[in-house]
Amino acid sequence: MPETPRRHRGSVLRQGATLSLVFGAVLLAGAATGAWGDQSPGARRTSADVLPVAAPAPALATGQDPTGAQLSAQQAENLLGASGDRWGAYYSAQEYAEFTQGLGGRYLGVGLSVGRGQDGVTAVSQVQPEGPAAVAGIAPGDRLLRIGEDQADHLPVTEVVARLRGREGERQVGSGVTLTVQRHDGPVREVPLRRALLDSQQVAVERTPAGVVRITVRGFTSGVAQQVRAAVRGAKAGVVLDLRGNSGGLVEEAVGTASVFLDGGPVASYQERGERRELTAARGGDTTTPLVVLVDGGTMSAAELLTGALQDRCRAVVVGARTFGKGTVQQPSRLADGAVLELTVGRYYTPAGRSPEGTGLAPDVLATEPGDAGELALRVLAGLGPGA
């Protein structure tokens, strides 16, 4: 995901008024702000699955629900550190707005998205054309060894994203960051980069002469489902929905995207404080156009929720590599100063009752080489036939 704004990543405790469920947590911000490094046209923040944000709550007392309390940024970070919530996060009011709404089509970053595989290796998953990283010769597949003096593999993914995007005082055009990268078994090299304002388009659409529509969704920010729905119109030979490197985002947008391809029915469920909640698709979706979903180790959270729904409902063939494995839900709560605290409130499950947490989702068709996944998806789509 592209670099994402964040402090400590996570999710949020439910509070009075719900914000917007964030089913993903850790790199989403990139999309709109440049998360997992900073995804190309903008990935979203954390691998998130975010519920609606809650309104400010009373002052915090020991043992009470912290959301909405009069907490300083440092107190919020200390609280998250003590909670052990790996997906918990704290955002300033501006950061959260950037995360959910984007920066007017732009985000600050170096133009790359990163993912972490099951082996713990941090690698570049996408590079934005003509961005600082691309100009410096960084390419997908390069291993990210260090950010500054710190080893990338030893940092939480959320921290990797935060450092790519820039900490307080560094989040400005022209600020510098040095990455140490390695291509396969080649030489290790240090690459100094300067952050720039980059396009943060979340949805990219390609149409082939054969009538196939390829829709790349980099993160689930506001309006993504509507863009996907518009892109699907006129897809004569089928749709390839590319969710590779998608770190998640707003749950309602993931459910809305599922509704494009389903005619009602379950999308997912999640447990929140012992209560089961159902997420369902709207009626009237396109259930006949052949559909292939592309995934990889950077497909997280809300993107996994969408993948699991389409796979369990037998609506799509999933091609690529096993997904990341983030199956938790975060709920954002608004603090008194407008900042947002996210804490994990539970796990989510696919329509068949599977939880991606820790294991990810296996594709129906495995792409042995990442570079072959796109062509493999087209071959699978051709085999489905019109109206399959």
Q: Is residue 8 domain-resident?
A: no
> 121 and 215, same structural domain?
no
> 243 and 177, same structural domain?
no
Q: For residue 256, what are the domain limits?
A: 203-327+347-384
Q: Is residue 12 domain-resident?
A: no
> 78 and 193, same structural domain?
yes
Looking at residue 44, its pLDDT comes to 30
**125 closest CA partner among 309, 320, 308:** 320
CB 95 within 8 A of CB 6: yes
- Give the residue from 152, 170, 199 where a domain finishes: 199
Looking at residue 212, its pLDDT comes to 95
Sign, CA dihedral 360-366-368-371, equals negative
> 129 and 240, same structural domain?
no
> 211 and 191, same structural domain?
no
> 256 and 210, same structural domain?
yes
Q: What residue type is 240 in one-letter code?
A: V
SS3 content of the chain, % helix, strand, coil (to 5): 20, 30, 45
Domain count, the chain: 2
CA dihedral 118, 122, 127, 133 (to 10 degrees): 180
> 125 and 268, same structural domain?
no
- Where do the H-state alpha helices sit in 151-242? 157-165, 224-232
Structure pTM? 0.69
- Give the residue from 199, 234, 261 where a domain finishes: 199
Two tokens, residue 247: 């770190």
**Chain length of the chain:** 388
Output b/e per residue, 164-174; b: 16+ Cβ within 10 A. Answer: bbbeeeebeee
- Distance from C-alpha of 213 to C-alpha of 88, rounded to nearest angstrom: 36
| Alpha carbon distances (Å) from 293 to 71, 72, 199, 349, 352 | 42, 42, 24, 19, 18
Beta bridge partners of 107: 198
- Give the residue from 199, 227, 244 where a domain finishes: 199
Q: Is residue 337 domain-resident?
A: no
Output b/e per residue, 244-276; b: 16+ Cβ within 10 A. Answer: bbbbbbbbbbbbbbbbbbbeeebbbbbebeeee
Residue 300 belongs to domain with CATH number:
3.90.226.10
* Per-residue tens of pLDDT for the chain, all 388 residues: 344 333 333 322 222 222 345 544 333 333 222 233 333 333 333 333 544 444 333 222 223 344 445 677 677 777 777 777 877 777 777 767 665 555 455 677 898 877 776 677 888 877 887 889 999 999 888 999 999 999 998 887 767 877 888 876 777 889 999 999 999 889 999 999 999 988 767 898 999 998 999 999 988 888 899 999 999 998 989 999 999 988 788 889 999 999 999 999 999 998 777 788 899 999 999 999 999 999 998 898 899 999 999 999 999 999 999 998 989 887 778 888 888 888 888 889 999 999 999 899 999 999 987 678 999 999 999 999 765 4
- Distance from C-alpha of 293 to C-alpha of 215, rounded to nearest angstrom: 10
Residue 160 belongs to domain with CATH number:
2.30.42.10
Q: Is residue 10 domain-resident?
A: no
